Amino acid sequence: MIAITLPDGSVKHFDAGVTPMDVAKNISEGFARNVISASFNDKTVETATPLTEDGNLILYTWNNEEGKKAFWHSSAHILAQALEQLYPGVKLTIGPAIENGFYYDVDFGDKTISEKDLKDVEDKMIAIARGKHEFSIREASKEDALEFYKKQNNEYKVELIENLEDGTITFCDHDTFTDLCRGGHIPNTGIVKAIKLMSIAGAYWRGDENNKQLTRIYGISFPKQKDLTEYLELLEKAKQRDHRKLGKELELFTFSQKVGQGLPLWLPKGAALRERLENFLKKAQKKAGYEMVISPHIGQKELYVTSGHYAKYGADSFQPIHTPNEGEEFLLKPMNCPHHCEIYNSKPWSYKDLPKRFAEFGTVYRYEQSGELHGLTRVRGFTQDDAHIFCTPDQLDTEFKKVIDLVLYVFGSLGFENFYTQVSLRDPENPEKYIGSIENWEKAEKAIISAAEAKELDYKIEYGEAAFYGPKLDFMVKDALGRSWQLGTIQVDYNLPERFELEYKGSDNETHRPVMIHRAPFGSMERFVAILLEHTGGNFPLWLMPEQVTILSLSEKYEKYSQKVLNLLENDEIRALVDNRNETIGKKIREAEMNKIPYMLIVGEQEEKDGTVSVRKHGEGDLGTMTPEAFSKLIQQAVKEESKEFNV
C-alpha cells in the first residue's frame, strides 16, 4: 500500500500502481470527469501514470492554471498531427502551451500556408479530437530517438535530442501520431471540443536570428464551444479597448518613425493627463514624507558597472556614448536607482536622519527588440514613478507596510479593485543570476513575506521572478476584461547599499549599512496609462479626464451665453470647452460621446432666457435642466468623492 496525500491534507491509501485518475474516481465520479491533469510530488504526471510510492498528489481541472496548460499543450500535439496529415513532409519543432492557448513552430519547406488555410487545419484538428485518442507517454533511448528523427530528416528534433541525457527522453503517442515530449497531457483528445487558430507568424529556430525562420501557428482551444465563443467576444471587446486605437482617437499620444521606434510623443491632452497623474501621486508622496529629486538622463558607464546593471542589462541597453575624451563613456540610464544611491552618498547621515525617501519621475531607456515593441506597454524610453527609501533594518518592516498602503491608495483611486500580489523570490537553482550574499537575500525575502501577511494581502510565491539585486512584491491587477497586468512593485535591497558603500552613523556611534526599498506604484507612466486606457475604455475617472465638460451651442446666437457658462466652470477649476461649430446638435452630441467627454451642456434660446443648461451624461443621456452653478457643484462633489485624500 502507498499513502497519497491530497491538497486538503487528507491521506488515502491505495495499492501501488494506482493512477491519478483512479484516485479522482475514488473521491467522486463527477469530480473525475472533470480531472484533466495531475502533479505528483511537484512533478507533472499523466492522469494514467502508475504511482508506486508515497507522495503528494494534486488533481487539476480546466479551472486550474496547470489544467489549462496541459489542455493547451495537448492541443498543440493535435495541431501538429493535423499539419502532418495535411502537409506531408513538414518538419515539426516545438509546440508549448502559452498564457492564452498554444503554438507550434513548423518548417514547411517548399510548402506554404496562409491565414486562409487555417480553417481547413481547424476542421482536421476537430476530426482528430473527436476520435477520443488517449495520450500516452513512453520512454525512449537516446539512440532510438535520434534514429527516429534522422529517418524523418528532422534536424530540429535531432538537435533537441542531442542536448538531452539518455534516460530522460520520452515520446507522446496518440492515434497515429508520435512526438518528442516531456509530458503533461489531458487523458484523451475528445476533451477538446472547440478550436480556433488565431494567426500565423515567423519565428527563428530557438529564437536566434542567425537560424532559419520557421512558421509559427498560434491557436486556442476549449472544453466547450460556449467558452470559445465568449473568448472571441472578449477579444473583440479588447480590440475596441486597444490603447493604441483609443490613444489615437482621444489624441493622447503618437509615434514617429523619424523620432524612432518605441519612443512615444505625448500630445497636449496626453501630457495634461500624465501631469494630473503625477501631481496626484506627488501630493500623496509629500504627505508620506517623500522628497523629490531629479537625476540626469545619462551617467558614466562606471556608475552602472558599480550597480551591476551594466552586467545584467548591458545587452538590452543603448550602447555607450563616446565623448571626445578618449576612454570616456556614458550610457542612457536604464535605471534611476544608481543615481539615487549617489544622491544619498552626497552627505553623511545619522540614524536620526533616517528614513530618507527620495522620489523622482525619472525617464529611463532600454533597447527593446523591435519585434517586442507594443504601443505604450513596451517602449524604449519610459518614465518611472520611482522612489528609493534608505532606512535602518529596524525601520524596514514599517516602511515596507507604508509603501503597501500607498500602492493600495493609488489602485483604489483609479478603479483597480481586483488584484492579488506576487512575492517574487530568487531561483535557488540558479544563484548566478543574482548579486549579494545568501544571508542578505534571506533577510529581504522574510521581510517581504512578513509585511504581506501583516497587511493580509492575497499573495502567492513565485521563484525565479526576483530582480537581480533583491526580492520584490508585485501587484497583479485584473482589468475590466479579466486580463492580468503587473502594476506596482516594491523591492527590498541589501545589495546596492553595499556596492555603493552607503552608510549612516548608528546610536552606537558606529557606521552601518542602510537597507534600500525600491518602489513604483504606477510602474511606468507609459505602461500605466496604456493599461488604464484599456481598463476604462477611455472613460477615465472624472478627476482625470482631459476634458470634463463640453458646452454645445445650438447656434452662434448663443455663443456669448456659452462663454459665460465656460468662464464660470473654469473659475471653479472644471475643464470645459465650447463647441459652437455650425453643425447639428445631434452631430455634436455623437462626437462628444465618441470622445468620451463625461458631460454635455446644451445651450439654446430657453436655456439663455432661464439662465440654465440642459445636461447630458456620457453613456446615460439626459439628466434634465439646472443652473450652471448647480452643475458646477455636482461636478465638484463627484470629483471629491472619486479622489479621496491619502491618509498617512
Lowest-confidence segment of 243-257, 431-445, 618-632 by average pLDDT: 431-445
By percentage, how much of the chain surpasses pLDDT 90? 76
How high is the pLDDT of residue 488? 85
The C-alpha R_g of the chain, in whole angstroms, comes to: 30
Residues making up the binding site? 337, 388, 518
Active site residue 518: yes
The answer, yes or no, to whether residue 482 has pLDDT greater than 90, is no
* pLDDT at residue 637, as a whole number: 93
The answer to whether 493 and 517 have CB atoms below 8 angstroms apart is yes
CA 454 to chain centre: 26
Residues linked to residue 91 through DSSP beta bridges, in sequence order: 107
Which is it for strands 101-107 and 97-98: parallel, antiparallel or unpaired? antiparallel
276 is catalytic: no
Separation of alpha carbons 96 and 91, rounded Å: 16
Measured between alpha carbons, how far is 258 from 273 in angstroms, rounded to an integer? 25
Beta-bridged to residue 419, according to DSSP, are: 477
Q: Report how far Cα 200 is from the mean position of its chain's Cα atoms.
A: 23
Q: Is residue 295 scored above 90 in pLDDT?
A: yes
Is the pLDDT reported for residue 258 higher than 80?
yes
Q: Is the pLDDT of residue 466 over 90?
A: no
32 phi and psi angles, rounded to 5 deg: -60, -35
Would you state the cell numbers that stand for residue 62, as one nine-digit string? 480546466
The pLDDT score that the predictor gives to residue 643 is 79
Cα-Cα end-to-end distance for the chain: 59
- pLDDT attached to residue 49: 93
* Mean pLDDT over the full length of the chain: 92
Mean pLDDT, residues 273-297 = 96
Q: pLDDT-derived band of residue 443, with 50, 70 and 90 as boundaries? A: confident
Annotated active-site residue in 69, 196, 388, 596 = 388
C-alpha span between 307 and 241 (Å, rounded): 39
Confidence of residue 415 (pLDDT cuts 50, 70, 90): confident
Collapsed DSSP state (helix, strand, coil) of residue 217: strand
Annotation marks residue 486 as catalytic = no
Q: Does the annotation mark 261 as catalytic?
A: no
The band of 462, judged by pLDDT with boundaries at 50, 70 and 90, is confident
Coil, helix or strand for 390?
Answer: strand
The helix (H) or strand (E) run that includes residue 149 is helix 142-151
Which residues, in sequence order, are CB contacts of 593 under 8 Å at separation 6+? 618, 619
Kindly report the number of other CB atoms within 10 A of residue 97's CB atom.
19
Catalytic residue status for 535: no
Residue 41 has pLDDT above 80, yes or no: yes
Per residue in 632-642, pLDDT tens? 999 999 998 88
Residue 337 annotated to the active site: yes
> What was the pLDDT predicted at 499?
92
For residue 312, pLDDT over 80 is answered with no
Angstrom distances, CA of residue 44 to CA of 136, 190, 288: 14, 21, 47
Query: How confident is the model over 214-220, as a mean pLDDT?
Result: 96
pLDDT at position 189: 97
Torsion angle, alpha carbons of 360, 363, 367, 369, to 10? 100
Catalytic pick among 107, 124, 172, 337: 337
More confident residue, 31 or 431: 31
Measured CA to CA, the distance from residue 212 to residue 205 in angstroms comes to 6
Per annotation, catalytic residue among 274, 309, 366, 535: 366
3-state secondary structure of 458: coil
Name the active-site residue from 384, 395, 491, 548: 384
* Mean pLDDT across 570-598: 93
Helices (H), 152-261: 155-162, 225-240, 243-249
Q: What is the mean pLDDT of residues 621-630?
A: 94
Catalytic residue among 91, 472, 519, 527: 472
pLDDT at 333: 92
**Residue 278 has what pLDDT?**
96
The C-alpha angle with vertex 158 and arms to 156 and 162, in degrees rounded to 5, equals 120
Contacts by residues 308-313 (CB-CB < 8 Å, ≥ 24 positions apart): 308/435, 308/468, 308/469, 308/495, 308/496, 308/499, 309/334, 309/335, 309/338, 312/468, 313/366
Backbone torsions φ then ψ of 562, nearest 5 degrees: -60, -40
Residue range 268-281: average pLDDT? 95
Catalytic residue among 107, 386, 474, 479: 386
Residue range 138-163, pLDDT digits in tens: 999 999 999 999 999 999 999 999 99
Q: Which three cell numbers stand for residue 628?
A: 450652471
Residue range 392-402: average pLDDT? 92
The reply to whether omega before 338 is within 30° of 0 (cis) is no
- pLDDT above 90: residue 17: yes
Considering only residues 369 and 83, tell me which one the structure prediction assigns the higher pLDDT.
83
- Cβ 289 vs Cβ 647: under 8 Å: no
472 is catalytic: yes
pLDDT tens, position by position, 111-140: 989 999 999 999 999 999 999 999 999 999
How many CB atoms within 10 Å of residue 74?
27
Q: Which residues are annotated as a binding site for Zn(2+)?
A: 337, 388, 518
Looking at the predicted structure, is the pLDDT value of residue 528 above 80?
Answer: yes
